[in-house]
Structure 1
Amino acid sequence: MKKINLNSEIEELNPEELDHIEQALLSRAQTISKLAYAPYSNFNVGAAVLLENGEVLQSSNQENVSYPVGTCAERILLGYAGANYPNSTPVMLAIVAQRAGEETWASVSPCGMCRQAINETENRYQRPITILILCANGNVLRVKGISALLPLKFDDLNS
């Protein structure tokens, strides 16, 4: 038997350690999360992406009573960016979540489908995306590329 060790490097920062671009991106994600349509889970997620051209786009989760039909904020956002700004690489993605009726932010991490969508976006543009994740304690996780969250990525149908 052979053991394989997988290591991921994720930075945890205090909010004041973020640069103004990172702070602004998280703020945009927080603002859009308030517009989530989440009547079934009551879990509002917001995401904002910074494109290479300086454009910032945002989205929130949109649920459906038929659960598989609902879409996560990250996938809506990356799909929109790819369709409407196909020549501008996504460079940074901020993700936040909050339970309806609560003042504090909840810890969140991209689901498996969103991780794969982020992976596909990185493959498409041949560049890792820096991911910012707001934690319940107010700190922010900074992840440099999806490999840290998805170490055994599904990249190629031919391999």
Structure 2
Amino acid sequence: MKKQKIEISIEVFESVSELPKDIQELMNKAQEARKNAYAPYSLFQVGAAIRLASNEITIGSNQENAAYPSGLCAERVAIFHTGALYPNEGIKAIAICASSSKQVLTEPIGPCGACRQSLAEYEQKQKSPIAVYFMGETGKIVKTNSVLDLLPLGFNAKYL
């Protein structure tokens, strides 16, 4: 047996104002999108904004359904919307923010596993990294340089 170590590097920003200006704009768009979340069951609202290589921004928010598995997370709404509108456009970054009607979320909230897998598909398709920025309602923001930093050893098309 041989042990291997997987390491990632993250950057942590203390507030949105510390982010580069273009990412501040992206996070602000994610925060606006979060207001459109339909989350009557979980009371957990998420917004996502994607910046394309052309600097166009697309958004998504989580959309729940009484038949729980029928809902969709903000990140997948945003990435699928982007893929439908701009199928050949490169993606530079995604910003994600979450809030809850039950408590104030001050810790960064990363994407769920299904969203990580969906985002990774687009990163692999374009053959270049997508920066991921995520936060709660307030507080620190975490940045990874790649979706694959969030999903090491992920599943991809080479296994099919």
Give the TM bin, normalised by the shorter chain. over 0.9
Match for residue 21 of structure 1? Answer: 22
Does the residue aligned with 1:151 lie in a helix, a strand or coil?
A: coil
Match for residue 125 of structure 1? Answer: 126
Query: Where in structure 2 are the equivalents of 1:4-153 lying within 5 Å?
Result: 4-15=4-15, 16-100=17-101, 102=103, 105=106, 107-135=108-136, 138-153=139-154
Deviation at 1:135, TM superposition (A): 4.2
Does the residue aligned with 2:159 lie in a helix, a strand or coil?
A: coil
State the distance in 2 between where 1:70 and 1:86 align. 23
Cα RMSD of the aligned pairs, angstroms, is 1.7
TM-score (norm 1): 0.92
Deviation at 1:108, TM superposition (A): 1.2
TM-score (norm 2): 0.92
Count of aligned pairs between the two proteins = 159
Deviation at 1:119, TM superposition (A): 0.6
Q: Are 2:109 and 2:136, in contact at CA under 8 Å, matched by a contact in 1?
A: yes
Identity percentage over the alignment? 38
Deviation at 1:104, TM superposition (A): 5.2
State the distance in 2 between where 1:103 and 1:7 align. 30
State the distance in 2 between where 1:128 and 1:69 align. 29
Does the residue aligned with 1:38 lie in a helix, a strand or coil?
A: coil
Distance 1:41 1:67, change over 3 A: same
Q: Are 1:99 and 1:105, in contact at CA under 8 Å, matched by a contact in 2?
A: no
Q: Are 1:98 and 1:106, in contact at CA under 8 Å, matched by a contact in 2?
A: no
Structure 2: where are the runs of 5+ without partners? none
Does the residue aligned with 2:94 lie in a helix, a strand or coil?
A: strand
Distance 1:106 1:34, change over 3 A: farther
Q: Are 1:36 and 1:61, in contact at CA under 8 Å, matched by a contact in 2?
A: yes
**Letter aligned with residue 13 of structure 1:** F
State the distance in 1 between where 2:11 and 2:136 align. 12
State the distance in 1 between where 2:69 and 2:30 align. 23
Deviation at 1:156, TM superposition (A): 2.5
